[in-house]
Amino acid sequence: MLSLHDLLLSRLRESPEGLAWAEVMALALYHPEYGYYGPGPRRIGRGGDFYTAVSVGPLYGQLLAELARQTWEQLGRPAAFTIIEQAAHDGQLAADVLAACDFPYLIVEPNPRYRTVQREKLAAQGDRVRWVNSLAEVNLDAAPGGLPALFVCNELLDAMPVHLLRWSGETWQELRVRADAHEGLFFSPEKPERRLAEEIASLPTHLQPGHVVEVPLAALAWLRELAAAPFHGAVCIADYGLDAEELFTPERAQGTLRRYLQHQMDDRVLEQLGECDLTTHVPFSRLIDAAKQLAMPVLSYEHQGRWLGKLAMPWLASLEGQPPDATTRALLRQFQSLTHPGIMGRSFRVLVLEK
Ligand SMILES: C[S@@+](CC[C@H](N)C(=O)[O-])C[C@H]1O[C@@H](n2cnc3c(N)ncnc32)[C@H](O)[C@@H]1O
C-alpha cells in the first residue's frame, strides 16, 4: 500500500455503500503508518499544527495537581490515590503535574510508540509513573473497592472519530465518503447506518435544510468504558466544545468538523488526509446526559477560564504583595492565555464528573 489515499480507495472498492466518515477519520488519525497520530506524538504548540492548554506551559499541570489534592482530600486522603491520564501524548502534562505534587501517576496508553516517548520523557520519575493499555486495567494493584483516583484527559474527545449527519429538511441523511471516476473523494448523502438511529431520534428537526451535525458514537462508547473502569473519585474532561443550544444554531449549520495544519484551520477535511489533524467540538450536552445515565453525576461544568480561575485562587493569593520574578511573570502570561475569553478561556470547557 502506497498511501492513505490508496488504502481508502481499496476499502471503497469493497464498500458499495461508501465509508462512514468515522471510519475515514479513524484511519486518517490513527492508522499506524499513515495516520496523523499513528507513527508517534506530533509536535504540539509553536512548530506544530495547533496549541493545547498543555503546550501553553507548565501552569496548566500545576493547576491540575491542585485539583488532584482537592480530590484526594474529598476522598478522605486515601493512601492508594492515583492520577490517571489518557491522551498523554508526549508525556508533557504528566511531567508538569508530577513536578507539582507527590501522587503516583498512571497513563492509559494503547500505542507502544507513544509509550516509548512518554517513558523517555518521564524516566526521572522512576516507578511513580506506570502504564496500562486500557481503562479496564487501571486497578493494577487490585485495591479493594477499586482505585481511588482523579482521571484527567485534555483534548482526547475532540480527536475521536464521528459520524456525520445532514438535515435534508425532512429527514436526517448520513454523509458517507465515496470516490468519483477520477479517484477524488467526496461526501454523499445516504440512508443512515442503523446504529445511528438512537442518536437521530434525539436530534432537533427545526433546523434549516443542509444543517450538519456530528454524532459522537466513539466518545459515547469511551464514556461507557470509563464508567465501567475499576476506579472511583473524579473525572476531569477538558476540551473545546459546545452546548446543544450553541450547536443547533444557524452559525453552526456547517457542523464543527475541521482540519488543522500549521495553525491554519479550514473545513477541507477530505484533502491531505493523514497530514492534518482532524477535530470536532465536543457536544458537551450530549456527553453530560450520557454521563448521568451512567451514574456519573456532574460536579462542575464551566468555561475553562472561570474554572481555572477558581482553581488558581490559592496560587494567585500567594503572589500578593511581592513583585513577581521572571518565572512568576511567565506563569501569569500562561494564566492569561488559558483563561482569557478571547484566547482559550471561553471556547474550552471543563467537565468534572463524580465516579
Ligand atoms: C489533540 S491531541 C492532545 C494531546 C495532549 N493531551 C494535549 O492536550 O496536548 C489528542 C491525543 O489523543 C490521543 N488519543 C486518541 N485516542 C486515544 C486513546 N484511545 N487512548 C489514548 N490516547 C488517545 C492521541 O494519540 C493524541 O495524542
Task: Give tens-digit pLDDT for 201-241.
Answer: 999 999 999 999 999 999 999 999 999 999 999 999 999 99
Q: Which of 31, 139, 135, 122 is nearest to 82 (CA)?
A: 139
Residue with cell 450536552: 285
Q: pLDDT tens, 14-36?
A: 999 999 999 999 999 999 999 99
Query: DSSP per residue over 191-228, as a string?
Result: PPPGGGHHHHHTS---SPTT-EEEE-HHHHHHHHHHHH
Question: Could you tell me what percent of the chain has a pLDDT over 70?
Answer: 100
Inter-residue contact 176 to 20 (CB < 8 Å): yes
**7 pLDDT above the threshold of 70:** yes
Q: What is the pLDDT of residue 174?
A: 98
Indicate whether 349 belongs to any domain: yes
Q: What is the pLDDT of residue 322?
A: 87
Q: What's CA 229's distance to the chain center, in Å? A: 18
Indicate whether 32 belongs to any domain: no
Nearest residue CA, atom 27 of ligand 1?
A: 89
Q: Which of 48, 26, 47, 84 is nearest to 355 (CA)?
A: 84
| 191 Cα–ligand 1 center, Å | 31
Domain that holds residue 67: 53-160+216-271+279-354
| 174 Cα–ligand 1 center, Å | 26
Q: Please provide residue 170's backbone torsions phi and psi, each rounded to the nearest 5 degrees.
A: -130, -30
**Cell numbers at residue 92, please?**
508533557
**Cell numbers at residue 63, please?**
493547576
Indicate whether 238 belongs to any domain: yes
Number of domains in the chain: 1
How far apart are the C-alpha atoms of 16 and 190, rounded to whole Å? 12
Longest dimension (CA), the chain: 70
How far apart are the C-alpha atoms of 122 and 4, rounded to whole Å? 33
* Probe residue for ligand 1, chosen from 50, 55, 89, 118 as the CB with the greatest number of ligand atoms within 8 Å: 89
> What is the reported pTM?
0.97
In short, whether 52's Cβ falls inside 6 Å of ligand 1 is yes
| 308 Cα–ligand 1 center, Å | 21
Q: pLDDT tens, 80-132?
A: 999 999 999 999 999 999 999 999 999 999 999 999 999 999 999 999 999 99
| 46 Cα–ligand 1 center, Å | 18
Nearest residue CA, atom 4 of ligand 1?
A: 89
Indicate whether 249 belongs to any domain: yes
How far apart are the C-alpha atoms of 170 and 324, rounded to whole Å? 60
The strand ranges marked E within the chain are 19-20, 82-86, 105-108, 129-132, 147-154, 163-167, 172-179, 185-190, 212-215, 231-242, 258-261, 264-266, 277-279, 282-283, 298-303, 348-354
**Cell numbers at residue 280, please?**
470536532
How far apart are the C-alpha atoms of 115 and 129, rounded to whole Å? 11
Domain containing residue 251: CATH number: 3.40.50.12710
Indicate whether 316 belongs to any domain: yes
Q: What is the pLDDT of residue 54?
A: 97
Query: DSSP per residue over 86-99, as a string?
Result: E--TTSHHHHHHHT
C-beta contacts of 186-192 below 8 A and 24+ residues apart = 186/270, 187/21, 187/270, 188/18, 190/17, 190/18, 192/163, 192/165
Q: Which of 183, 177, 165, 160 is nearest to 21 (CA)?
A: 177
Q: What is the dihedral of CA 48, 217, 24, 191, to 10 degrees?
A: -140
**1 pLDDT above the threshold of 70:** no
**Cell numbers at residue 238, please?**
477538558
Nearest residue CA, atom 23 of ligand 1?
A: 87
Amino acid at 48: G
Q: Which of 257, 236, 237, 238 is nearest to 247 (CA)?
A: 257
| 87 Cα–ligand 1 center, Å | 3
Indicate whether 223 belongs to any domain: yes
Q: What is the pLDDT of residue 326?
A: 97
Averaged pLDDT, 289-302: 98
Determine whether 151 is exposed, middle or buried from the number of CB atoms within 10 Å of its CB (0-12, 13-18, 19+): buried
Q: What is the pLDDT of residue 80?
A: 97
Q: What is the pLDDT of residue 2?
A: 76
Inter-residue contact 122 to 129 (CB < 8 Å): yes
Averaged pLDDT, 144-148: 95
Averaged pLDDT, 241-259: 95
Share the mean pLDDT of the chain: 96
